[in-house]
Chain A
């Protein structure tokens, strides 16, 4: 089965600083990868997804992620954090041979300090 590892359960940045949330996956072939955001007491919303069309993927709210096969990584970045970015972020991978199975990382809570 696939797996996803998110390093750092909590990340704290100052407003205006770079946001970097880490995600590493295990897969023998280029997978389908996703980043979701969860605001308090809400469901998950899609930020962006990797489809193999381009290694740098742009998402909503100024977020982007770069797929690096050599590092089996799909880290999420944003050049300048806003207070409204405070949320929990989840990386997910779709199963190789079952497109209905997704595996989620344990999540990273982003705190943005004024």
Chain B
């Protein structure tokens, strides 16, 4: 049981390049999330997916796109990277429903630097 896995662990991009961050979970969770973590700002939600086939914007969606490929996988794409997107990106998953609260399970993170 690997939990939530993310690839890659580290990435350096030049401004304007594109890339996709991959995330997979093996806990059969319905909900998946992408966050970015910046010093002194905690975690901010970029996008989330409440179920396979649905995605919704979070607090800071600009410059990102997501795909919920199936129940296990949720990818985050930067189409044209900017230095402001230098951050640590975390994927998370959770059970969902009003009967909660269901805690989130986090991946190990991807450290992205855009030069």
Contact (A42, B108) CB under 8 Å given A100-B48, A106-B40, A107-B42: yes
Contacts of B41 in A (CB 8 A): 106
Interface of B, secondary structure class, is loop
Residues of B within 8 A of A41 (CB): 108-109
Most buried by A among B31, B92, B100: B100
> Among A49, A90, A101, A106, which residue has its beta carbon within 8 angstroms of that of B48?
A101
- Shortest C-beta distance, A57 to chain B (Å), equals 12
B90, B96, B103: the one within 8 Å of A46 (CB):
B103
Give B75-115 as 1s and 0s: 1 = Cβ < 8 Å from A's Cβ atoms.
00000000000000010100011101111111111000000
Residues facing B in A74-114 (CB within 8 A) are: 90, 92, 94, 99-107
B 13-47 contacts with A by CB, 8 A: 31, 33, 35, 40-45
Question: Shortest CB–CB separation between residue A4 and chain B, in angstroms?
Answer: 8
B110 to chain A, nearest CB (A): 11
Residues of B within 8 A of A49 (CB): 101, 103
Once the chains bind, are B107 and A43 in contact (CB under 8 Å)?
yes
Contact B103 A99 (CB under 8 A): no
Q: How far is the CB of B107 from chain A (nearest CB, A)?
A: 5
**Shortest Cβ gap from A99 to chain B (Å):** 5
Contact A90 to B100, CB < 8 A, known contacts A43-B108, A45-B106: no
19 residue pairs from A and B, CB less than 8 Å apart: A9-B40, A36-B106, A41-B109, A42-B109, A43-B90, A44-B104, A46-B104, A49-B101, A90-B42, A99-B96, A99-B98, A100-B31, A101-B45, A101-B58, A102-B104, A104-B42, A104-B43, A104-B44, A105-B42
Residues of A within 8 A of B (CB): 4, 6, 9, 32, 34, 36, 41-46, 49, 51, 90, 92, 94, 99-107
Interface residues of B (CB under 8 A from A): 4, 31, 33, 35, 40-45, 48, 50, 56, 58, 90, 92, 96-98, 100-109
